[in-house]
């Protein structure tokens, strides 16, 4: 997830997360975008909403895990509806790496995930409901993996 930008004859390849919200003068021109092939062996997206289609989600969770021999070697969790903008669950990702892919670990990760964000209440759901849905998606994720295996 790197992109190259150019001001005059200088090239500046940087990971995208280091560029978000950065204003440069003069403004760089994006000259290339490199998106690596995902290495995730298990991935799933959960949309929690009042209606399954044509509705804004109350909470959304994208999970991508790289698992080798039962051990989690890489973890990416993207969340929507729990912060002002979509966010990554960096503390939860760090916790998961090196752990076994099992219910106990996902339950512990769910507790970390709930503490990592402070959602607001609105007409789609309360803050408590949104927090509870975060940990529930991790439990659902591993349950669905077991069923499909």
Give the pLDDT confidence score for residue 146 in this predicted structure: 84
The CA angle 40-75-82, to the nearest 5 degrees, is 115
Per-residue pLDDT tens over the stretch 108-129? 999 999 999 988 888 888 999 9
SS3 state at 146: helix
Output the pTM of the full model.
0.76
Per-residue pLDDT tens over the stretch 42-91? 999 999 888 767 678 889 999 999 999 999 999 999 999 888 889 999 99
* Separation of CA 27 from chain center: 29
How far is Cα 92 from Cα 77, in angstroms, rounded to an integer?
8
For the record, the structure tokens of 68 come out as: 């080798």
How far is Cα 82 from Cα 120, in angstroms, rounded to an integer?
7
């Amino acid at each position: 997830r790197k992109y190259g930008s150019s001001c005059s004859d200088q090239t500046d390849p940087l990971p995208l997360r280091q560029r978000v919200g950065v204003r440069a003068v003069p403004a760089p021109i994006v000259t290339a975008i490199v998106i690596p092939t995902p290495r995730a062996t298990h991935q799933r997206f959960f949309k929690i909403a009042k209606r399954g289609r044509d509705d804004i989600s109350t909470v959304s969770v994208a999970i991508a895990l790289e698992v080798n021999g039962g051990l989690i070697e890489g973890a990416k969790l993207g969340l929507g509806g729990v912060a002002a903008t979509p966010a990554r669950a960096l503390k939860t990702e760090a916790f998961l790496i090196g752990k076994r892919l099992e219910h106990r670990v996902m339950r512990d990760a769910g507790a970390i995930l709930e503490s990592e964000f402070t959602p607001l209440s609105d007409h789609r759901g309360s803050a408590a409901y949104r927090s509870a849905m975060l940990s529930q998606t991790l439990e659902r994720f591993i349950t669905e993996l077991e069923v499909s295996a």
